[in-house]
Chain A
Amino acid sequence: MHGASFDIAHLLAGALVLVSFMLLYQDRLYALLNVFALHAVVLAASVAWQAYVQDAPHLYVTVAIALVLKAGIIPIALHNMVRRMGIHREIETVGGIGATMLAGMGLVALSMMVMLRVTAGADPLAREDLAFALAVILLGLLIMVTRRNAVSQIVGFMSLENGLILAAAGANGMPLVVEISIAFSVLIALIVIGVFLFRIRERFDTVDVHALDRFRGERL
């Protein structure tokens, strides 16, 4: 791995972590969706660079999926949904933005510490990529637990999945990466379709997942 190509891969993966942080402090749904589209674009660039460096043309399929589906169709569909439901007001978060950001920093530090120490023997690009990917995954989890709105939970999950794709693309020559990214796309498409089909808005009058809790069979 030459100096320049290593630096570019490093830069793109680092940018993905940065955009994950941006997702963390968005308090409007439209803005959240826009930042997520950016997240997908950065992922696409990162995977495209890996495809070029590793000379693995099949990875371009993953790039195409990221660009078309995750940066295009899904954010637009969610935009429509948010507008139709009229829920583009503030996102209710658990805990303040400051605390969430601090927690996010802690998670990034944790993933660096764990992955860099553990992968001492692996090749440097893969190490850095794994550490960044784990950071993106943990930040995605953090978004999912700090949001109560179904749409922003989907966004959190999709950003988490972007981290997985980053890890898979960084693992040189890993088989089934494309298949896995397709499987994930199906999963996400199903979530979005499911939210549409079940018309959570009509059923619950809100997409606030917290409100769904009261329908649990235990509380009578």
Chain B
Amino acid sequence: MSWPAPDFDPVPVILACPAVAAALLAIIPSYRFSAWLNVFASLITLIAASSLFTLPQHAGDYVLIDNLNIVFIALNAFVGFTTSIFSASYIGHEIEIGRLTPAYLRFYHALYQVMMFGMNLALLANNIGLMWVAIELATLTTVVMVGIYRTHEAIEAAWKYFILGSVGIALALFGTILVYMAARPIVGEGLDGMIWTVLMQHVAHFDPSLLNVAFVFLLLGYGTKVGLAPLHAWLPDAHAEGPTPISAVLSGLLLNVALYAVLRFKLLLAANAHAIAPGPLMALLGLVSVIFAAFMLYRRRDIKRFFAYSSIEHMGVIAFAFGIGGLLANFAGLLHMTMHSLTKSGIFYSVGHVAQVKGTQKIADIRGLTETHPVLGWTLVFGVVAIAGLPPTGVFMSEILIVSSTFARAPLLALQLAFGLLIAFGALMWRLTGVAFGEPTGSRAPVKASYLPMFAHLALVFAAGVFLPPVLVAWFQMVARGLG
């Protein structure tokens, strides 16, 4: 890669670009222009984020670049960019039908960039306190956006998200304080006690019992954000009642950011020989989420809520994979996380347009999509096939890897996971047949959709199922090895 120049540091761009864009978007009245500025800012962030791959690993007092977070940042910037394109066409329709006013959109676009800033900061942070603040910021902006329609349901969802999210964030902070308390006798007072790389160097000498309690709080706190059962109650409401672009970034990105925080602390605990093994706790929460969400899928009547439960299931799979650990399971976990982000946001793009054209989110009222809207319908079919884990998709590969690598280590757990996946598969197929191939209902009006983002996402997912580029495999293997 010849550009950017080797001495170019993309980190300030990744942080400053969303921040500046947010300030600009807050004062620009024209929503058409804002939508494009939003896309443009996201593109700049994406370019800066992808140039991270050329950078050597380095760690400062506040910022850290290592193999692990580059994957997350690149994925974050990519989905952030495609969602901004989808959002531009989505909100055009919302303005037309008067569900949103231009004043609210100004607010919406500015918050979108604030959220991107928060997530990028959380991923780049080398300081566990800074990471906490950044995740709080990202959460708060999504809370406001979930409530942006100001209907009864939207405000109820936002309130619930707010209260549960705040409790989660409070528990995470308590865990963070405990980690600092554990570090203080060894690394001394002040900033060093919160710098992740410094903690990693000295963690072997920390008081293990304090670390154990800290991890429980951190897992519960950030786990609430990941949407792991039984702490998931906010997630379906927040997905269903907010604007669809927000559902896409919630599922595709914010859950990952929270998971990233859990992973960082898992690494910390794993480096201390006397602390509890963090893996089994994560695997347990993950397994519970998979099985619980799989059964709950059958009872959902709202299409966005339905896919929100599917997100809980997949976050469970990912947490399970990282919990099992080892080179293969970590590799599969990373792959699954990437594939889930791409597929699920792709599905939400198409569901967003479907809900707009049909004027409803009730599954019962959306039928025969492949007949009324062939392109949209078939995109959704491919999306659901991919997320259900059918070959030849990337999700299939990662799920097979997770189940088979678990079989070698803990056959009973693998059976339970496979059971959960099959139950969820059944629910997805059952709903898909009605929605895609049933007797057509509702409006047949042509839809002004931007197909590019969903095609791009699904194409990537299918391509990954057929052929994973060796560069990517090598990179993921390197990260997986680091994850222990």
List residues of A whose CB falls within 8 A of some B CB: 114-115, 117-122, 126, 130, 133-134, 137, 141, 144, 150, 153, 157, 160-161, 164, 167-168, 171-176, 179-180, 183, 187, 190-191, 194, 198, 200, 203-204, 209, 212-213, 215-218, 220
- Considering only residues 187-212 of chain B, those with a C-beta below 8 Å from chain A are 189-191, 193-194, 207, 209-210, 212
**CB-based contact B155/A216 at 8 Å:** no
Closest A residue to B137 by CB, please name it.
A183
Closest B residue to A211 by CB, please name it.
B156
17 contacts between A and B (CB under 8 A): A119-B209, A130-B178, A137-B170, A137-B171, A144-B163, A164-B170, A171-B180, A175-B129, A187-B136, A190-B140, A190-B144, A194-B162, A203-B152, A212-B152, A216-B156, A217-B240, A218-B302
**CB-based contact B152/A187 at 8 Å:** no
Q: Which of A153, A176, A215 contacts B153 (CB 8 A)?
A: A215
Cα distance A141–B217 in the bound complex, in angstroms = 14
Cα distance A121–B210 in the bound complex, in angstroms = 9
Residues of A within 8 A of B152 (CB): 203-204, 212, 215
Question: B interface, by DSSP: helix, strand, loop or mixed?
Answer: helix
- Considering only residues 384-419 of chain B, those with a C-beta below 8 Å from chain A are none
Residues of A within 8 A of B441 (CB): none
Question: A interface, by DSSP: helix, strand, loop or mixed?
Answer: helix
Number of interface residues of B (CB under 8 A): 49
Instruction: Mark each residue of chain B from 136 to 148: 1 if its CB lies under 8 Å from any CB of chain A, else 0.
Output: 1100100010010
Given A122-B181, A187-B136, answer yes or no on A144-B159 (Cβ-Cβ < 8 Å).
Answer: no
Q: Which of A119, A198, A216 contacts B147 (CB 8 A)?
A: A198
Q: Which of B133, B155, B194 contacts A183 (CB 8 A)?
A: B133
Beyond A122-B210, A157-B163, A203-B155, 14 additional contacts (C-beta under 8 Å) are: A115-B213, A118-B209, A119-B207, A130-B181, A144-B163, A171-B181, A172-B184, A172-B189, A173-B189, A191-B166, A194-B162, A203-B150, A212-B156, A217-B241
List residues of B whose CB falls within 8 A of some A CB: 127, 129-130, 132-133, 136-137, 140, 144, 147, 150, 152-153, 155-156, 158-159, 162-163, 166-167, 170-171, 173-174, 177-178, 180-181, 184-185, 189-191, 193-194, 207, 209-210, 212-213, 237, 240-241, 300-302, 305, 361
Q: Which of A119, A161, A200, A212 contacts B170 (CB 8 A)?
A: A161
**CB-based contact A212/B207 at 8 Å:** no
Given A203-B155, A216-B153, answer yes or no on A122-B207 (Cβ-Cβ < 8 Å).
Answer: yes
**CB-based contact A171/B140 at 8 Å:** no
A32 to chain B, nearest CB (A): 17
**CB-based contact B207/A179 at 8 Å:** no
**CB-based contact B130/A176 at 8 Å:** yes
A169 to chain B, nearest CB (A): 10
Residues of B within 8 A of A117 (CB): 209
B438 to chain A, nearest CB (A): 19
Cα distance A157–B164 in the bound complex, in angstroms = 10
